[in-house]
Amino acid sequence: MKLKIILFIVCAFVCFSIGVASADDVSDLKAQLKALQEQMNTLNAKIQDLEAKQEAQVKEVKKVPELEKTIDKLKEGPASLLEGVTVGGHLKFTLLDRTQGKRNGVDQHNNLSGGFYGNDNLFLFFSKTLDDWLRLDVQTKTEVAATATPALGSDIGRATSTSTSTSIYQAFLTVRLPKEFELKAGKFNPMFSEDYAKETWWHQLYNLPKGTGTILAWHDTGAELYKNFDFDKWSLPVYLSLLNGGTSSDIDNNEQKTILLHVAPEFFQTKLRLLGSFAYGKWDNKGKEDLIRTAAGFDWKYQKFNLLGEYIYWEKKNVLIPSSGTVPTADGVNQGYWIRGIYTFNPKWRAIVQQSYSNLYQTALTGQMSMISDKYYVTTLGLDFSLTPSSTIIGQYDKGNASRSDGSESLKYDRFTMGWRTTF
């Protein structure tokens, strides 16, 4: 605006000057006027450019509050994602371990030492309540691949190298349904053997005896429906699962599903729980061969004494024997039992005695012409010292006697282990 006023005064002055100037000066004044006009055009162009820049700056300034809001949302994003997440874990490692015995009548042993072995691992647990009716649980497992466990078919020794891997141990959603039903879906330990599925043994024994873990272990993907029916003097928890039930816990290998039913009636006055499981499905890729798994057990408490155990039977129909030339298939059966007695002296100390037996079928051994099996009888003594209710130093002694049904392998061993388990 000031520039326009100045230009107006200049024009008026020029016009006035033209009126009073002599004829000889008219041409000079016209030349000056032309030069001033060119300067005015240049200044006007600069003014327009400046106004355009000012308008652009105003628009950018208006964007600042929106940008600040966006930045605030980005800052709050991770916090809101992690808000309400419960983080925990489980750490297990060996302090001391030694095995001595005889393989096929030959004396063998390993050194008294410690470190990380195949059963030593770190679990991390993540849990978040997404809503009143929905919860997410994810558990990762970092495991050291090495072993000092005595087994049929190998010398008593200790691995000299290790490798470490991390995998998803469990990952599932839990849905709270009407009438106190509960649905679990994802990857989890199906409720077949409660001792294994609920990891009850974790702070009782350091290692499951050889063979026992094979018949108890079940990792799978699918869905599990749970309901507890309450009565005056007893209760009846019921678990009904629809599982992939194939050869892998991560993928489904056929169109058939495995149905698992587990019941655990508890009688309050006698402090006795009975455990029963039955599963049926198809195990092969074509979905033709039957899979049957059954379990029966009990859990009884009396004052400081706890007695519990299970019998397991697992059968796969028509398992291929690759080495056989005349009998290509046979039924593969894993079966066994364990019975455990626990006496709690006080909150810090408890003693454990366990007897276990397992019979595991074998295929694809060199020269194998028919189905054979490995049998393990193991007597276990344990002594637990609880630093805290969730951190336990476990001393364990296993006396094992194992043999292969065709007489090709025998093993007798005494194994002492001291390990430390901590759940946090």
What separation in angstroms does the CA of 344 have from each of 220, 348, 394?
Answer: 34, 8, 14
Where in the chain are the domains?
A: 2-19+26-75, 84-423
Distance CA 422, CA 417 (A): 16
Q: pLDDT for 53-66, tens place per residue?
A: 767 665 654 555 66
What separation in angstroms does the CA of 256 have from each of 160, 202, 211, 253?
Answer: 43, 33, 28, 9
Q: Is residue 267 packed enough to be buried (19+ CB in 10 Å), middle (13-18) or exposed (0-12)?
A: middle
Backbone angles phi, psi at 300, to 5 degrees: -125, 135
DSSP 252: -
For residue 60, the model assigns a pLDDT of 58
What residues contact residue 98 under an 8 Å CB cut-off, 6+ apart?
Answer: 109, 110, 111, 112, 113, 415, 416
State the Cα angle at 261 between 132 and 203, rounded to 5°.
70
- Reply yes or no on whether the pLDDT at 26 is more than 70: no
Q: Which CATH number is 84-423 given?
A: 2.40.160.10
What separation in angstroms does the CA of 93 have from each of 119, 150, 165, 359?
Answer: 8, 18, 16, 28
Q: pLDDT for 133-156, tens place per residue?
A: 999 999 999 988 766 678 999 999
What three-state secondary structure class fits 130?
strand
Q: What is the largest CA-CA distance in the chain?
A: 139
Q: pLDDT for 404-420, tens place per residue?
A: 999 999 999 999 999 99
Q: For residue 21, name the pLDDT band (cuts at 50, 70, 90).
A: very low
The residue written with tokens 């042993």 in the block is 109
Among the listed residues 121, 111, 115, the one whose alpha carbon sits nearest the alpha carbon of residue 141: 121
Q: Which of 306-315, 363-372, 386-395 has the lowest mean pLDDT?
A: 363-372
Q: Where are the beta strands (DSSP E) in 345-390?
A: 349-362, 372-388
Q: For residue 164, name the pLDDT band (cuts at 50, 70, 90).
A: confident
DSSP 369: -
Distance CA 119, CA 110 (A): 17
What separation in angstroms does the CA of 375 have from each of 91, 152, 256, 400, 405?
Answer: 31, 9, 31, 10, 8
Q: Where are the beta strands (DSSP E) in 189-304?
A: 220-230, 234-243, 258-263, 266-267, 272-282, 290-302
Distance CA 236, CA 229 (A): 5
Is the pTM higher than 0.85? The answer reads no
Helices vs strands, H then E, count in the chain: 4, 19
Q: pLDDT for 273-314, tens place per residue?
A: 999 999 999 998 888 999 999 999 999 999 999 999 999 999
What separation in angstroms does the CA of 140 have from each of 126, 195, 261?
Answer: 9, 20, 27
